[in-house]
Structures are given as structure tokens and as C-alpha cells.
Amino acid sequence: MNIMLLGAPGAGKGTQAAKLIEAFGYAHISTGDILRKAVANQTPLGLAAKGYMDKGELVPDMVVIGLVKARLQEPDAEKGFILDGFPRTVVQADALGTALAELGKTLDAVISIDVEKNALVERLTARRTCKQCGAIFNVVSQPETANGVCPACGGELLQRDDDTVETVTNRLDVYERSTAPLIAYYKDKGMLRSVNGNRSADDVFGDVRAIVEA
Ligand code: AMP
């Protein structure tokens, strides 16, 4: 299965991607993860992307389109992939369609995880990610993580640089302006499936899994 996860920052795309990977073993294609790795390694890509990311702006379309095209051709994408955080603009969605056609691949499901707007700021500022295993937690709903230690592997829990209140507000504005139109884009193509994301990660996954297994 080739799956796209759509949703606002904080909707739970990364969490659902991790559950899909655990259950089905698909390749995870997260442009945010690729870019954060490039920033951490101070590669030319990372140095170019950091300014946009720190402000909560989108990295230019041509940059991320190139990354995803290359990533789709890696061998692990053969077993199925999950697009998480890409596309984020109509230009990216059009480019994805062209790239998939060129590669002889298709999208099997576009899953929109819908979360009420006022819950997103709280989720994003409470988000912590394990430096070691990448697991994602919420310090408010999972108070056992407030000590900064990953309950899964004992690694250090970090807050993303762009999960501060100032940057989050801009990211949500950018989402409304540039990315939310993709919901109508895929609906018009008859590909969109929506799940209610205002629930526990496990409950949301019940619906996601049902779509994937249908
Ligand atoms: P994410 O981890 O998906 O929330 O992405 C973190 C940041 O990386 C975003 O706020 C953007 O600055 C950048 N980014 C990730 N994916 C994309 C994309 N598809 N297009 C443009 N910028 C992106």
C-alpha cells in the first residue's frame, strides 16, 4: 500500500505513521524528518532549509520535490510507503502525481486526520520526541514523560525547535493557507478518506487500519 497522511501540524501524522510501520512495515517518507536530519548534519540542504523551518515557513517546493522523488526510488519504497508531511502545496501535489506516474506507482489511500484547531497549539507545544528512538510523546497527556526520559528506550526527550508557541502559530497559518486546500484537491479526485483525530492515538489508528485493510 502507498499511503498519504494529510493533516495540520500536530494532527498526529507522525504518530499514525509509526503505528502503520509497526503493523505493516512500510517505508516512512517524512520530509520534516529528512530536513531535520540535514539540519542536524549541517549539510548544504540543512543549512538552506533551517531558516525556513525556524520561522515555520515552508521550504521551497523544488527542494522538497527533489527530495521526495529521490526517496521514492529507494529500494525500501517498493514494499509500500507512507507520505507524512508531503505534499504541503498544490504544486507539490501536482509534482507528486507526475513523479508517481513516471515511476509506475500509484497512491492507494489519502487519509486526512482531522483535529479541531484549538487543540493543535496545545498538542504541538506539549510534543516531545526521543532523541534516540524517535518515538513521539505528549507531556500533558503522558505525564510520565515529564522527566524528559523516553519510556520506550530511556533516551533523552527533546522539544523540536519549531514547537515553540511563536513558531507554532505561523505553522498553523501556513497550513491553512497552503496545505488545507489539498483536502479539496484529493476529495475532488475521489481519493480522500477522513478520520476523526480528536481521540486517543490508538482509537485513531483503529480507523486508519480499517482503511488500509479494506
Ligand atoms: P514537519 O515535521 O512535517 O512538521 O515539518 C517541519 C518543517 O519542515 C515545516 O514547518 C517546513 O518548514 C519543513 N517542511 C516539511 N515538509 C515540507 C514540505 N513538504 N514542503 C515544505 N516544507 C516542508
The CATH number of whichever domain residue 66 belongs to comes to 3.40.50.300
Query: Distance between CA 34 and CA 45 in Å, rounded?
Result: 10
Residue 198 lies in a domain: yes
Residue 34 lies in a domain: yes
- Is 171 one of the annotated active-site residues of the chain? yes
CA of 101 to the centre of ligand 1 (A): 24
**In the structure, what pLDDT confidence band is assigned to residue 114 with cuts at 50, 70 and 90?**
very high
Average pLDDT over residues 149-173: 95
- Is 160 one of the annotated active-site residues of the chain? yes
Give the model's pLDDT for residue 85: 98
**In the structure, what pLDDT confidence band is assigned to residue 92 with cuts at 50, 70 and 90?**
very high
Give the model's pLDDT for residue 113: 98
> What percentage of residues in the chain have a pLDDT greater than 70?
100
> Is the separation of the CB atoms in 144 and 120 below 8 Å?
no
Atom of ligand 1 nearest to the CA of 56: 10
| Catalytic hit among 36, 50, 71, 171 | 171
Inter-CA distances, 36 with 33, 52, 63, 160, 205, Å: 5, 12, 14, 9, 26
C-alpha cell at 95: 509534482
For 2-18, how does the pLDDT look when each residue is reduced to its tens digit (9 = 90+)? 999 999 999 999 999 99
Give the model's pLDDT for residue 13: 97
**In the structure, what pLDDT confidence band is assigned to residue 51 with cuts at 50, 70 and 90?**
very high
| Catalytic hit among 69, 105, 160, 187 | 160
Query: Distance between CA 95 and CA 104 in Å, rounded?
Result: 14
Give the model's pLDDT for residue 18: 96
Number of domains in the chain: 1
Residue 58 lies in a domain: yes
| Catalytic hit among 13, 36, 123, 128 | 13
Residue 50 lies in a domain: yes
Helix or strand or coil: residue 200?
coil
- For ligand 1, atom 6: residue with the closest CA: 32
Torsion of CA 65, 117, 204, 5, to 10 degrees: -10
Average pLDDT over residues 158-162: 94
- Is 36 one of the annotated active-site residues of the chain? no
Give the model's pLDDT for residue 175: 98
Residue-wise DSSP of 49-83: HHHHHHHTPPPPHHHHHHHHHHHHTSGGGGG-EEE
What is the pTM (predicted TM-score) of this model? 0.94
C-alpha cell at 148: 524528559
Give the model's pLDDT for residue 94: 98
**In the structure, what pLDDT confidence band is assigned to residue 74 with cuts at 50, 70 and 90?**
very high
Residue 11 lies in a domain: yes
Give the model's pLDDT for residue 61: 98
Domain that holds residue 184: 2-115+179-213
